[in-house]
Amino acid sequence: MGHVSTGKSYINEEPGLKSWFTSLDHKRIAILYFVAVMTFFLIGGIMALLLRLELFSPNTAGSVMEHIPNFLRKAGDTPADLYNQVMTYHGAMMVFMVIVPGIPAIFGNFFLPLQIGAKDVAFPRLNLLSWYVFMAGAALAVSTFFFSKIDTGWTFYTPYSIRSGTSVVMMVVAAFIMGMSSILTGLNFIVTVHKLRAPGMTMWRMPLFCWAIYSTAIIQVLATPILAITLLLLAMERTFGVGIFDPKLGGDPVLFQHFFWFYSHPAVYIMILPAMGIISELITTYSKKTIFGYTAIAYSSIGIAAVSFFVWGHHLFVSGQSEVAGIVFSFLTMLVGVPTAIKMFNWLATLYKGSIEFRAPLLYALGFLFLFAIGGMTGVILAVTAVDVHFHDTYFVVAHFHYVMVGGTLMAIMGGLFHWFPKIFGKMHSETGAIMSWVFIFIGFNVTFFPQFILGAKGMPRRYFDYIPEYEQLNKISTVGSWLIATGFIIALITVIKGLTSGAKAPKNPWGSKTLEWHAESPPIMHNFEQDPIVTAGPYEYK
């Protein structure tokens, strides 16, 4: 492709702010998501810091929550209420507004079409609509903040969520709307993969990131409607008292848990599969080596997606569910462990005899493997019925899912960000800054969450505003860790801003990567490629 760059790109081809909000270009929409999701991440992160600060010591001397400014609180809310609200918003925002949309809507939107050699997604207009729907839901969710904050936890368990005198209905409707956006995005991606692959780009030549986004999209389309109907039923229960979940009206509160986890367990894979896709890209690129076991990785994504629908009951071992159900769900959960293990070993084997370059994205990928190994194994521990009885709803679970969701997904987002930064923005960021951010986030993460495994083993329940004195030491360590993580993200933010404002111009392919997006300009032009690409080989031909 020996043409001379015209300096035109998707960033400057159409001028003016308004053009961004009406653009149908998948890359611009990805940027819109990026800005929104990062803003929510910032808010959710500040809340996390607040929670950790509260837990720095037992609540004998007073509470951090008392310092929350008056306009953000309702008269009569005790510090414990405020803590419960912050805990709820932290969870709900991080799940529904950051981790679920994060990778598919940002990197999936930007790179799926580029990686399969398409000009855009299948339905560009629908893509923009998804963003507006998402923002509408998010705005509604955030607005509850100024009315009557919810305090149910992100899981909305009944009958507490029926009784709680807060704007549960509004929040639930918000999650419903955001779910709608998630379905639309998933649909768009599935059609894109089936219909818009460039000539020669067979399914089995797609980069693994596309496979991951594709599997995720299938789960999004199949599972999200269940969440939607569940939340709608909850809203109806609250407004009309239909008597499906409320025991006072003859309903069954545990039914809600079944419905909720029937979505939310597959949703765990909505959160982690795309991350795994990014990791495959990073490891091949920075070890300059073809991926080991391409087919196995692709099939294991599909396998995880399929089995993930049948394991929800492992959240209910102590809910009063029958012993038989407990056993069956424990068994099925073990089966999801296998494809996950396969992926881990494949990545390891990819490093073997590679030419490994220690750049920030690789460090994030190795950090992912490290944290995900721990998160995955503790997941197996929790899937063992008898052991879970002790650990259920303790800090062990909190540590476990932060290891997989933050240690997994967030590490992948950060790795992906520094990997694709030159492609997205056409500028180079500072490598030192990126590496420093990794050092703080990685170390801080372990300092924050490893002690929580021990706290859980010792029996400290989750969602506790206060705790008995014997848990103080470990909680202190955990809180200090949260400051390290915050430092890491501040460094990352500075690195990004400096890269944007004063980074050198990025070449087409700074890391010597093989996938198609690196054949486009940095940043790509409006319709991605100067000439429509024709694909003749697999994605990772490092020969």
Q: Does residue 243 bind another protein (CB under 8 A)?
A: no
Q: Are 184 and 120 in contact (CB under 8 A)?
A: no
Report the nearest approach of another protein to the CB of residue 473 (Å): 13
Here's the x/- map for another protein, 152-171, by CB under 8 A: it reads as xx---x-xx--xxx------
Which residue's CB is nearer to another protein, number 135 or number 342? 342
Q: Does residue 477 bind another protein (CB under 8 A)?
A: no
Q: Does residue 20 bind another protein (CB under 8 A)?
A: no
Contacts of 482 (CB under 8 A, 6+ apart): 48, 49, 52, 444, 448
The string over 227-262, giving b where at least 16 C-beta atoms fall within 10 Å of a residue's C-beta and e elsewhere, is bbebbebbbebbeeeeebbbeeeebebbebbbbbbb
**Separation of alpha carbons 524 and 110, rounded Å:** 10
Which residue's CB is nearer to another protein, number 28 or number 238? 238
Report the nearest approach of another protein to the CB of residue 45 (Å): 22
Report the nearest approach of another protein to the CB of residue 314 (Å): 11
Here's the x/- map for another protein, 168-207, by CB under 8 A: it reads as ----------------------------------------
| Chain centre to alpha carbon of residue 268 | 9
Report the nearest approach of another protein to the CB of residue 160 (Å): 4
Report the nearest approach of another protein to the CB of residue 108 (Å): 26
Q: Does residue 41 bind another protein (CB under 8 A)?
A: no
Q: Does residue 278 bind another protein (CB under 8 A)?
A: no
Q: Does residue 293 bind another protein (CB under 8 A)?
A: yes
Report the nearest approach of another protein to the CB of residue 243 (Å): 11
Pairs from 18-24 (Cβ < 8 Å, separation ≥ 24): 22/128, 23/128, 24/120, 24/124, 24/125, 24/127, 24/128
Region of 361 (left: φ > 0; alpha: ψ -120 to 50; beta: rest) is: alpha
Q: Which of residues 247-266 bind another protein (CB under 8 A)?
A: 247-248, 251-254
Amino acid 520 reads: A
- Candidates 179-187, 271-279, 417-425, 466-474 — which segment interacts with another protein by CB under 8 A? 466-474
Q: Choose which of 53, 142, 341, 443 interacts with another protein (CB under 8 A).
A: 341
Provide the angle, in degrees to the nearest 10, between the axes of the packed helices 360-383 and 323-351: 160
Q: Does residue 53 bind another protein (CB under 8 A)?
A: no
Q: Does residue 472 bind another protein (CB under 8 A)?
A: no
- Candidates 22-30, 43-51, 463-471, 516-524 — which segment interacts with another protein by CB under 8 A? 463-471
Which residue's CB is nearer to another protein, number 318 or number 500? 318
Which residue's CB is nearer to another protein, number 462 or number 508? 462
Q: Does residue 494 bind another protein (CB under 8 A)?
A: no
Q: Does residue 354 bind another protein (CB under 8 A)?
A: yes
Which residue's CB is nearer to another protein, number 254 or number 480? 254
Q: Choose which of 126, 306, 334, 439 interacts with another protein (CB under 8 A).
A: 334
* Count, residues near another protein per rule CB under 8 A: 93
Q: Does residue 326 bind another protein (CB under 8 A)?
A: yes
Q: Does residue 443 bind another protein (CB under 8 A)?
A: no
Which residue's CB is nearer to another protein, number 25 or number 77? 77
Q: Which of residues 77-106 bind another protein (CB under 8 A)?
A: 77-78, 80-81, 84
Q: Does residue 442 bind another protein (CB under 8 A)?
A: no
Burial class (CB in 10 A: 0-12, 13-18, 19+), 340: buried
Q: Does residue 294 bind another protein (CB under 8 A)?
A: yes
Amino acid 329 reads: F
Element (DSSP H or E) covering residue 112: helix 109-115
Contacts of 163 (CB under 8 A, 6+ apart): none
Q: Does residue 51 bind another protein (CB under 8 A)?
A: no
Sign of CA dihedral 156, 162, 164, 165: positive
SS3 158: coil
Q: Does residue 369 bind another protein (CB under 8 A)?
A: yes
Q: Does residue 148 bind another protein (CB under 8 A)?
A: no
Residue 199, preceding bond cis, omega within 30 degrees?
no
Which residue's CB is nearer to another protein, number 222 or number 384? 384
Q: Does residue 22 bind another protein (CB under 8 A)?
A: no
Place of tokens 């890391």: 511
Residue 523, preceding bond cis, omega within 30 degrees?
yes
Number of Cβ atoms within 10 Å of the Cβ of 512: 12
Which residue's CB is nearer to another protein, number 239 or number 322? 322
Provide the angle, in degrees to the nearest 10, between the axes of the packed helices 431-457 and 395-404: 150
Report the nearest approach of another protein to the CB of residue 542 (Å): 6
Retrieve residue 60's tokens: 């004998």
**Separation of alpha carbons 227 and 221, rounded Å:** 11
Residue 541: phi and psi, rounded to 5, are -85, 75
Which residue's CB is nearer to another protein, number 32 or number 307? 307
Q: Does residue 70 bind another protein (CB under 8 A)?
A: no
Q: Choose which of 73, 119, 258, 463 interacts with another protein (CB under 8 A).
A: 463
Q: Which of residues 503-522 bind another protein (CB under 8 A)?
A: 512
Q: Are 465 and 81 in contact (CB under 8 A)?
A: no
**Separation of alpha carbons 316 and 388, rounded Å:** 10
